[in-house]
Amino acid sequence: MSPTRHRNRRPALRRWAPRGAALAALGLAATGCASNEFTRLGLPEPITEQGHRVLTLWQGSWVAAFAVGILVWGLIVWSIIFHRKRSEQLPPQVRYNMPIEALYTVLPIVIIAVLFYFTARDQTALLSTEEEADTNIEVVAFQWSWQFNYLDEARDNAETPGGEPQAGDEEGGSEAQPRFSVAGTPQEKPTLVLREGDVVHFDLTSPDVIHSFWIPAFAFKMDVIPGQDNEFQVKVQEGTAGTYAGRCAELCGVDHSRMLFDLKVMEPAAYDAWVAEQEAAAQQQQLETEQELESGPEAPGGPDLPGPEGEGAEDEVTDAGPPVGEPSPADEAGVPAAANEEAGR
């Protein structure tokens, strides 16, 4: 009986071992196995300090899961090999064995407590907005695109007592005025531009339904909820200049899948040039709007109202992105900008 069994098993092993090895090799090849892609266990390479914290938590959780898995698989294999059915007699049972029952209860609690500790510690760090931000951006998520308002200060920071007194604090309250905006449409996705090395503070607002602001390269996302001021901040790491994907991660209606944006991380010089260009375009835009208001009797609402002029204004701001970069309106804006500011006061 037993010789037959042995004869049958060895060819089976010989047949399956190469197939298993080939499958493992294929699996490794499919992950790309370049750099640290394999050890990141599915997460993209993070470009923020906070993203690296998430990555470490993710890897630690996998190490814990593998440790438990190896223990359980080991016990299963051990049982299969050394405790095979040998007779019809029932083997000794271990019900009501107090040490084993206690182990079943205590060990999972210990595992969960350790995971909880690291999760709570990292969550506190990830949601901290203590560090002073270099850039403040109000993210407006709407059906179905994004608008990025570049602010002088975070909306909520205007109320904090620690901040230095700024001109216009008294009248503005917590509503910081955007220096310029980048807006997209479902047809044309907007580009969020950041400077590498910056601490960036995001204020998230929605005028309609719940969205979720997600940049996979941050290894982080946060819901954008109407009437609920959500905020978070990240430190963009040096040497991360490039273009990354951004998405809405909350099913928010029929065109949810088109609610995309790009994140462009720029080197400091390029970023500063881009900001100057955007500010000049925004000032030029404001001047034109005011001139129209003075000369024409129509359109009392200004650029915010949906109308032929309002839509035109939004498109111009969107089009003034880096690829266009016409020098002429920026140059013209230099002189009228000062007059424009005085007129506004």
Binding site for Cu ion (CB under 5 A): 211, 248, 252, 259
Q: In what order do the strands lie in the sheet with 135-142?
A: 178-183, 145-151, 135-142, 199-205, 230-235
Q: Contact 159/231 with Cβ under 8 angstroms?
A: no
CB of 259 to Cu ion, least distance (A): 4
Comparing CB distances to Cu ion, the nearer of 131 and 188 is 188
202 token code pair:
């995001």
In whole angstroms, give the CA distance from residue 180 to residue 279: 6
- The total of other beta-carbon atoms located within 10 Å of residue 255's CB is 14
257, HSE (Cβ side, Cα atoms, 13 Å): 1
Measured at the CA of 270, the angle between CA 268 and CA 275, to 5 degrees, comes to 90
CB of 190 to Cu ion, least distance (A): 13
Alpha helices in the chain (DSSP H): 2-30, 49-82, 98-126, 169-172, 268-295, 308-319, 327-344
Comparing CB distances to Cu ion, the nearer of 142 and 180 is 142
Comparing CB distances to Cu ion, the nearer of 252 and 313 is 252
CB of 211 to Cu ion, least distance (A): 3
Q: Contact 31/38 with Cβ under 8 angstroms?
A: yes
Which position has the token pair 């197939």? 19
In whole angstroms, give the CA distance from residue 250 to residue 322: 29
CB of 208 to Cu ion, least distance (A): 9
Comparing CB distances to Cu ion, the nearer of 201 and 211 is 211
247 token code pair:
């998405």
CB of 221 to Cu ion, least distance (A): 11
Comparing CB distances to Cu ion, the nearer of 183 and 299 is 183
Comparing CB distances to Cu ion, the nearer of 260 and 299 is 260
Q: Contact 214/259 with Cβ under 8 angstroms?
A: no
Comparing CB distances to Cu ion, the nearer of 111 and 209 is 209
CB of 231 to Cu ion, least distance (A): 18
Give the amino acid at 26.
Answer: L
CB of 311 to Cu ion, least distance (A): 21
